[in-house]
Structure 1
Amino acid sequence: MNLALFDLDNTLLAGDSDFEWAQFLISKGVVDREVQEAKNIRFYEQYKAGTLDIYEFLAFQLAPLARHSRAELDAWHREYVERHIRPIMTVKARTLVLEHLAAGDLCAIVTATNSFVTGPIAREFGIPHLIGTIPEVDVHSGAFTGQPTGTPSFQGGKITRVESWLETLGLWWGAFDNSYFYSDSHNDLPLMQKVKTPIAVDPDDKLRTHAGAQGWTVMSLR
């Protein structure tokens, strides 16, 4: 059996699900365009530089979830997937996922974006497992608190989260004949270096340079 792990934003998707969620909320008048876009640009520049404070980012990313009911958020999410996500799910990405599923590989999306935003996207791809940053839920009201819980699925935290997930299945890295991780970002180098077969997908400049030096496969899903 093989293990196939996929980053989501700018890897399986020809775009960023969190950015698209913010654009959707702006279109609904839920968040202020000027403030949201300015902060998105700042966080994205930090992300590209590898200096992103994940907890500062998550406080910003998760705040809108805490201001609305789950029923309202779920209704919005269905519209968001239809308008913003399906158009950036490429044929090549869908085909890649289907090939791994058809081969009987254990497949999971591993993403820093929170699981509320990304859960329905994983289901759209038919991928049965999602390892995303988990938004905290109030145990009494069932509403989101606006804070994360557990280890964020970011940089080295992706290894921690994947290994914890594998343990729940009674598995470990050595249980697989081969292990793949597809990603576009140098922020994912820790997990890419952990698997047997790292694959750079439409990579950023830092990852492209590293992949070239290491002889890793570079591909495009666009």
Structure 2
Amino acid sequence: MTQPLYVFDMDETLINGDCAMIWNEFLVDKGIVTDPDFLDENKRLMALYSRGLMDMEDYLSFSMQPLKTIPKSEIALLTSECVEERILPLLFPEAKTLITQLKRDNIDMIIISASVAFLVQSVADRLGIEHAIGIDLKEKGELYTRHILGVASYREGKVERLSEWLNGGDKTYSEIHFYTDSINDLPLCLYASHTYLVNPCEQLAVYSEKKNWPVLSWGSQ
């Protein structure tokens, strides 16, 4: 019996927006971030990300700075509020339909994202997706640090983290179906058995004809 695994990028793939950007805007609105230049710097860094040029350690140094004195338990509550109020409403209808169908067919799913793990896990929990991989952070007592624990789930690191997860599980999957929008995910696109491009960026769209990868226009109706 074949047992496929469906793997989803999160930002701009399942969610019509960038969850890290939404999270940072939420922190500003909550008064947790007071630096007037914070969101502009965030946009600058995310523009580098979209071109495949961002240094993840630089981004985490910037984005985790406002949270360095906030306990993990409080961050969990804030994350849950942000996901419920601001992120879930941006779920692509087509993504919702696909997830519902896969659940009905008892097909395993996993979200793998270059966002921090506590944000990715919160989104996965609310979508009813059992498995999630994000960037794990080293912890100091009850606080998160800005330092990456292990391999970052970013670019080639996504392949390494997914392979690690597959090797550590008790299931063997017959094929991997991967959905993404980003050029940063090209290594995982090439690793997967089947790749689907959801509203792909220009750099990734070039590969749709080369590799015969279907292009999905989600949210266009």
Could you say if the C-alpha distance between residues 94 and 33 of structure 1 is closer, same or farther in structure 2, counting changes exceeding 3 Å?
A: farther
More off after superposition, 184-193 vs 43-52: 43-52
| Deviation at residue 16 of structure 1 after TM alignment | 0.8
Give the distance between the partners of 2:103 and 2:217, measured in 1 at CA: 19
Amino acid at match of 1:105: I
Match of 2:218 in 1: 221
Please tell me whether residue 63 in structure 1 is matched to residue 65 in structure 2: yes
Q: What percent of counterpart residues are identical? A: 29
Name the SS for the 2:153 alignment partner. coil
Instruction: Provide, for residues 121-179 of structure 1, a one-character-per-residue CA deviation record: whole Å limited to 9, x for no partner.
Output: 101111100011012212xx2221232211100000001000111111145xxx43321
Give the distance between the partners of 2:161 and 2:35, measured in 1 at CA: 33
Q: Select 1:14's aligned residue among 3, 13, 16.
A: 16
Aligned pairs (5 A) from 1:68-83: 68-83=70-85
Match of 2:179 in 1: 182
Q: Select 1:131's aligned residue among 118, 130, 133.
A: 133
Please tell me whether residue 193 in structure 1 is matched to residue 218 in structure 2: no
| Deviation at residue 204 of structure 1 after TM alignment | 0.6
Give the distance between the partners of 2:50 and 2:83, measured in 1 at CA: 26
Structure 1 unaligned runs (5+)?
none
Answer yes or no: is the 8 Å Cα contact 2:111–2:120 preserved in 1: no
Number of aligned residues:
217
Instruction: Provide, for residues 90-119 of structure 1, a one-character-per-residue CA deviation record: whole Å limited to 9, x for no partner.
Output: 322111112223233221001000111121
Structure 2 unaligned runs (5+)?
none
Match of 2:152 in 1: 152
Answer yes or no: is the 8 Å Cα contact 2:94–2:218 preserved in 1: yes
Instruction: Provide, for residues 54-111 of structure 1, a one-character-per-residue CA deviation record: whole Å limited to 9, x for no partner.
Output: 1111222222332212232222223212221121113221111122232332210010
Please tell me whether residue 47 in structure 1 is matched to residue 49 in structure 2: yes
The answer to which structure has the higher helix fraction is: 1
Answer yes or no: is the 8 Å Cα contact 2:120–2:133 preserved in 1: no
Name the SS for the 1:8 alignment partner. coil
Answer yes or no: is the 8 Å Cα contact 2:121–2:133 preserved in 1: no
Name the SS for the 2:161 alignment partner. helix
| Deviation at residue 33 of structure 1 after TM alignment | 5.3
**TM-score of the aligned structures, taking structure 2 as reference length:** 0.92
Give the distance between the partners of 1:126 and 1:117, measured in 2 at CA: 14
Amino acid at match of 1:68: I
**TM-score of the aligned structures, taking structure 1 as reference length:** 0.92
